[in-house]
Amino acid sequence: MKKLLTTLIAIFAMLSIFNTVKADYPEKPITMVIPFGPGGSHDLNARVFTSIIPQYLGNAIIVKLVPGASGQTGTAMVAQAKPDGYTLLFTHNYVDQLQHHVKKLPYKPLKDFVTVARINYAAACMIVLSKSKYNSVQDVFDAAKSSGGKLKLGHSGMWGATMVPMAQLLSWGKVSANLTPYKGGGPMVKGLLSGDVEAVLHFPSVIKGQGNKVKTLGCGAKEKSLGTPPTFDELGFKGQIGYMDRILMAPAKTPPERIKVLQDALAKLKGDKTFKKFMGRLGENMEFMNGPDYEKIRAEKSNNYKSLVKQMTKG
């Protein structure tokens, strides 16, 4: 009888430990690396959802900005992190799906990371200072042409979310310009405001934050929050341009049950009134896509970027 009692106590203890471990994640704050500088659209969007997620996740997500090498420094850090669900990456499709077609990286995005969720997406818009003499995308093209390619236009990093569509637009306009790189979208917009560059591409959350300091000349999609400027398609550019997926990712070997915890918590944001209000103020959409669904299109998008890189680098 005594032996049976001891055995039962041991079994109950094991079950208790199992249930505690299962329920504990996350038992401490999660670090979410953003591989870009402060003040960019990723930073702004992250501040919104990380401020609300603790009530659904049971713990905090702490934002850590690690800019450098067009997003590759922070990405490499997460690729090397312990795959325990406590280090995540908030990145975008150009870093995840395009850059490895340009040069050899210290990680393999499609193998080393798995998608937790696409938080939302955004279309890039061309902006200039409100006092600028340029009032249309064509005005910028004409100035670039008359300058002999010396007109300074900013971008947020090589082969990133603003450099690629800017290069596509210039190619479409059959003009060249002096493309000036910055370490992220925040520093880039500061470059515009200081007069260091004449025009940049940026995203609604950052553009709205500038108030009447800037004007929008054109966007990759209809942006009612910005006064519905003309789309690049309406201006004659055919094909999707400047779409950025904001993706939350985890190291590939992260336990699936922990990723599921994250996905379930993030999915609840869609019905959160505070989240809706804050995202509305940012001028951003809430087009959430769960990880498994995004994984279905990730490889295809990467192949499309491979073709784009070949087209942009030929000759």
pLDDT digits (tens), the chain, 315 positions:
445 444 434 544 444 444 444 458 999 999 999 999 999 999 999 999 999 999 999 999 999 999 999 999 999 999 999 999 999 999 999 999 999 999 999 999 999 999 999 999 999 999 999 999 999 999 999 999 999 999 999 999 999 999 999 999 999 999 999 999 998 899 999 999 999 999 999 999 999 999 999 999 999 999 988 998 999 999 999 878 889 999 999 999 999 999 999 999 999 999 999 999 999 999 999 999 999 999 999 999 999 999 999 988 885
Per CATH, which fold does 29-120+245-313 belong to?
Answer: D-Maltodextrin-Binding Protein; domain 2 (3.40.190)
Three-state SS at 180: strand
Q: Is 231 helix (H, G, I), strand (E, B) or coil?
A: strand
Joined tokens for residue 60 = 């905090």
Exposed/middle/buried for residue 34 (C-beta within 10 Å: 0-12, 13-18, 19+): buried
Largest Cα separation within the chain, whole Å, is 96
Ranges in the chain annotated CATH 3.40.190.10:
125-226
Quote the CA–CA distance of 240 and 123 in Å, as a whole number. Answer: 9
Q: Bridge-partner residues for 218, per DSSP?
A: 126
Count of C-beta atoms within a 10 Å radius of residue 290: 15
Peptide bond into 251 cis (omega under 30): no
- Tell me which amino acid residue 305 is: Y
Per 3-state DSSP, the chain is made up of helix, strand and coil in percentages (nearest 5) of 50, 20, 30
- Work out the number of other CB atoms within 10 angstroms of the CB of residue 164: 24
Looking only at the bridges linking them, the beta strands covering 30-34 and 87-92 are parallel
Q: Which residues contact 98 (CB under 8 A, 6 or more apart)?
A: 159, 164, 302, 305, 308, 309
| Verdict on whether the full-model pTM lies above 0.75 | yes
CATH 3.40.190.10 is held by the domain 125-226? yes
Say if residues 175 and 31 touch (Cβ distance below 8 Å). Answer: no
Identify the pLDDT of residue 40: 93
Of 140, 145, 220, 149, nearest to 180 by C-alpha is 149
Q: What pLDDT is stored for residue 315 in this prediction?
A: 56
Please report, to the nearest 10 degrees, the dihedral formed by the alpha carbons of residues 201, 205, 207, 209 taken in order.
Answer: -150
CATH 3.40.190.150: which residues of the chain? 29-120+245-313
In this predicted structure, what is the pLDDT of residue 239?
A: 79
The first and second tokens of residue 36, run together, are: 């870009």
Tokens of residue 283, six digits? 């001028």
* pLDDT of 238: 81
